[in-house]
């Protein structure tokens, strides 16, 4: 009898511990982790960018170079070269989903040719001397989809962007300054301009009629 009573007490105690751990570790802990993940929801969900209507139109973490047809107005700032861009086409649309390094080393003649081709094309597009085109304009980032460019690359694009959008140079300079951020954590990297955020601000300010359908988002 005592054995049975002792056994039952152990069984009850075991079930009590199992129930407690199930509640704490199976429900409570996941709920706490989920709750913490909701802090700064935008960052947790890919840092989406929303236009003036609240529609998601991109991400501040992914650089997608705006493409225009040859001869058409070019109203936006351009990112660095996308990793998947062909070596023989300076302005080929890159696919961010397939961005890969070119695997061309510093001594590669293919890379050197591409850099010079792109430098000349950018200089012509921005109506500047090729020597004024900074290094980040003609080389890709490690990820191939970096959303940031250097202030120097943004600076040579300001005149074109202002002219095409019917804005003053000073107004566009102010927008660039607004979307320029310092080194990460104050020490990593250098000042950079977030192109997706900057282009969205340009579109909302100067080209609101070009907004696309929201697709039910908002």
Q: What is the pLDDT of residues 17-54, one digit of tens each?
A: 888 889 988 888 888 887 776 675 555 566 788 777 77
Is the pLDDT at 90 greater than 60, yes or no?
A: no
Q: What is the pLDDT of residue 65?
A: 83
Helix (H) / strand (E) containing 123 = helix 109-126
Per-residue pLDDT at 87: 45
Residue 137 buriedness (CB in 10 A; 0-12 / 13-18 / 19+): buried
pLDDT at 101 over 70: no
DSSP state letter for 28: I
Which strand ranges, in their side-by-side order, compose the sheet holding 192-194?
Answer: 148-149, 192-194, 180-181
Q: Is the model's pTM score more than 0.75? A: no
Q: How far apart are CA 180 and CA 198, in angstroms?
A: 9
Q: How confident is the model at residue 217 (pLDDT cuts 50, 70, 90)?
A: very low
CA–CA gap between residue 108 and residue 195 (Å, rounded)? 29
What mean pLDDT is predicted for residues 183-199?
87
Bigger pLDDT: 28 vs 142: 28
């Amino acid at each position: 009898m005592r054995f049975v009573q002792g056994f039952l007490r152990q069984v009850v105690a075991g079930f009590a511990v199992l129930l407690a751990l199930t509640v704490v570790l199976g429900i409570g802990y996941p709920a706490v982790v989920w709750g913490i993940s909701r802090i700064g929801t935008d960052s947790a969900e890919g840092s989406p960018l929303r236009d003036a209507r609240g529609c998601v139109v991109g991400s501040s973490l992914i650089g997608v170079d705006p493409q225009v047809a040859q001869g058409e107005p070019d109203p936006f700032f351009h990112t660095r070269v996308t990793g998947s861009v062909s070596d023989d086409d300076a302005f080929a649309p890159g696919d961010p989903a397939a961005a890969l390094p070119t695997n061309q080393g510093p001594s590669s003649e293919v890379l050197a040719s591409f850099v010079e081709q792109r430098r000349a094309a950018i200089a012509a597009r921005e109506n500047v001397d090729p020597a004024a085109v900074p290094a980040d304009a003609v080389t890709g980032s490690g990820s191939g989809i970096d959303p940031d460019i250097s202030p120097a690359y943004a600076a040579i694009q300001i005149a074109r962007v202002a002219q095409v959008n019917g804005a003053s140079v000073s107004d566009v300079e102010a927008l660039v300054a607004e979307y320029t951020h310092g080194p990460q954590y104050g020490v990593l990297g250098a000042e950079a301009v977030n192109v997706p955020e900057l282009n969205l601000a340009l579109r909302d300010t100067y080209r609101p009629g070009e907004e696309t359908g929201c697709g039910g988002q908002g």
